[in-house]
Amino acid sequence: MFWDVEVTPEEEDAIIRKTAEKIHQYGMDVIGIMLLETIKPMTFIGTTFGRFFLSPYLPALGKEIDIGGEKLFQIFEKRDNVEKLIVLLEEMAYEEREPDEKSEEPEETAPEEEYQEEEREKKGWRRFLPF
């Protein structure tokens, strides 16, 4: 729809980082990486279908969303940008799971403290599970 919309490299990197942060915020790192690795060879076809099926509905949501959708299509039709997103997700997932280097020896905790650690807040879709 917006053929004259051009995405600068800085804007491209900012959108990729924002997408990675949103995926990480919902705790969908591993699933996102698997999905992106699976569909990476088909990104050009996927964005073409997205333009065909989604673009007619985007103007109803506003001009900003319409232009933002076109920018997303332009960014993610390139396999290199999908690979950048995968690398960012892997880095974010690794940083979260990295053990603290400060505490070399495991601390002994009372059984009550272990029980409290198990009841930490659930993230993303896991918060809807009853167990």
Q: Is residue 18 within a helix (H) or strand (E), and if so which, with residue range?
A: helix 9-25
List, in sequence order, the alpha helices (H) in 26-78.
29-39, 43-54, 63-76
**CA 74, CA 130: separation in Å to the nearest integer?**
40
Q: List the domain boundaries for the chain.
A: 9-100+107-128
Residue 70 near residue 2, CB atoms below 8 Å: yes
Instruction: Give the predicted TM-score (pTM) of the model.
Output: 0.70
For 77-130, the pLDDT digits (tens) are: 999 999 999 999 999 998 877 665 544 555 555 555 555 555 667 777 777 777
Residue 39 near residue 103, CB atoms below 8 Å: no
**CA 131, CA 129: separation in Å to the nearest integer?**
6
CB-count burial class (<10 Å; 0-12, 13-18, 19+) for 23: buried
For 7-34, the pLDDT digits (tens) are: 899 999 999 999 999 999 998 999 999 9
Q: What are the angstrom distances between the C-alpha of 119 and each of 6, 59, 105, 122?
A: 47, 44, 23, 8
